[in-house]
Amino acid sequence: MEPIIRTVDLCRDFPSGREIVHALKKVNISIKPGALTILRGRSGSGKTTLINLLGALDYPTSGDIYLMDQKISDLSERKRDEIRRTGMGFVFQSVALIGLMSAYENVEFALRIAGYDKKKRKERAEECLDFVGLANRMTHRPHELSGGEQQRVAIARAIAHNPKVLFADEPTAELDTQMGLQVLKVFRDLVTKEKLTVVMTTHDPNMMELADHVYTLEDGEIVEII
Ligand SMILES: Nc1ncnc2c1ncn2[C@@H]1O[C@H](COP(=O)(O)OP(=O)(O)OP(=O)(O)O)[C@@H](O)[C@H]1O
Ligand SMILES: [Mg+2]
């Protein structure tokens, strides 16, 4: 099957004082559609750098990134913004929900920004919260939810506009193993039932068996593909 995202000799350097950090060194990776891919590796191995590039949040120093057959690594910021808004969803380590809004309102608000009309917003927000197992928590505000529940609201919000690819950088890092596995189970269901493509980073070995593909990074290079 054709990859949904692939990279060609992807490099990302960061200036650091008088030196240059080679955070990624000629990384070639293909992300399969409708699969759960995990990027793993020690702290500093380049996971965040790589996922930010795949999600068009950053530009490579050299090398290219293709989304389907479109080269996205040299598009203008405006075009990339459009691609992110329509085709991609993002979940981060610390959940950035709006504290004064309920779970439902957080998801509904994202749909408002994406331009959905009122009726669709209600339908879709309820559908997504139901999907992540929070149908009975919709009116709760973030501080009335557990860390794992908050992260699931963040997932509902990230998938509400029907992205093709969901990126998650260490989504379970602040959760205990049990809550982390619950979050991963939601990703698994999104892939299996909704045919979503999910790319996530983690260094938690407990998560690996739920993945379809695992890329291991070491010092900016892919050293193992499972
Ligand atoms: N903006 C930046 N400026 C300078 N160096 C950076 C920058 N971002 C990342 N780096 C360096 O690039 C390397 C890879 O960093 P990255 O954040 O991708 O690692 P990581 O695998 O996500 O680590 P962690 O598990 O701690 O999140 C590290 O050596 C880091 O110090
Ligand atoms: Mg990181």
Superfamily of domain 5-225: P-loop containing nucleotide triphosphate hydrolases (3.40.50.300)
Average pLDDT score over residue span 63-67 = 97
pTM over 0.85: yes
- 204 alpha carbon, closest ligand: 1
Tell me the pLDDT band of 93, cut-offs 50, 70 and 90: confident
As a whole number, mean pLDDT of residues 89-106 equals 92
By most ligand atoms within 8 Å of CB, the mutation choice from 25, 45, 202, 218 for ligand 1 is 45
Q: Return the ligand 1 atom nearest residue 50 CA.
A: 18
Q: What is the Cα–Cα distance from 201 to 31, expressed in whole angstroms?
A: 13
The closest residue, in CA terms, to atom 29 on ligand 1 is: 44
Domain locations in the chain?
A: 5-225
Write out residues with Cβ below 6 Å of ligand 1. Answer: 14, 16, 21, 23, 41, 43-49, 203
Going by alpha carbons, the residue nearest to atom 11 of ligand 1 is 23
Q: Which pair of structure tokens corresponds to residue 74?
A: 């040299």
Specify the long-range contacts of residues 32-35, CB closer than 8 Å, at least 24 apart. Answer: 32/1, 32/3, 32/4, 32/197, 32/212, 32/213, 33/1, 33/2, 33/3, 33/4, 33/164, 33/195, 33/197, 34/191, 34/195, 34/196, 34/197, 35/191, 35/197, 35/198, 35/212, 35/213
Determine how many CB atoms are found less than 10 A away from the CB of residue 214: 17
Pocket test for ligand 1, best of 19, 47, 50, 170 (most atoms within 8 A of CB): 47
pLDDT of residue 68: 93
Q: For residue range 168-223, what is the model confidence (pLDDT) as tens digits?
A: 999 999 889 888 999 999 999 999 999 999 999 998 888 888 999 999 999 999 99
Average pLDDT value for residue range 43-65: 97
CA of 50 to the centre of ligand 1 (A): 10
- pLDDT tens digit sequence for 116-174: 999 999 999 999 999 999 999 999 999 999 999 999 999 999 999 999 999 999 999 98
- Per-residue pLDDT, 59: 96
Average pLDDT over residues 6-18: 96
Give percent of the chain with pLDDT exceeding 90.
88
pLDDT of residue 205: 84
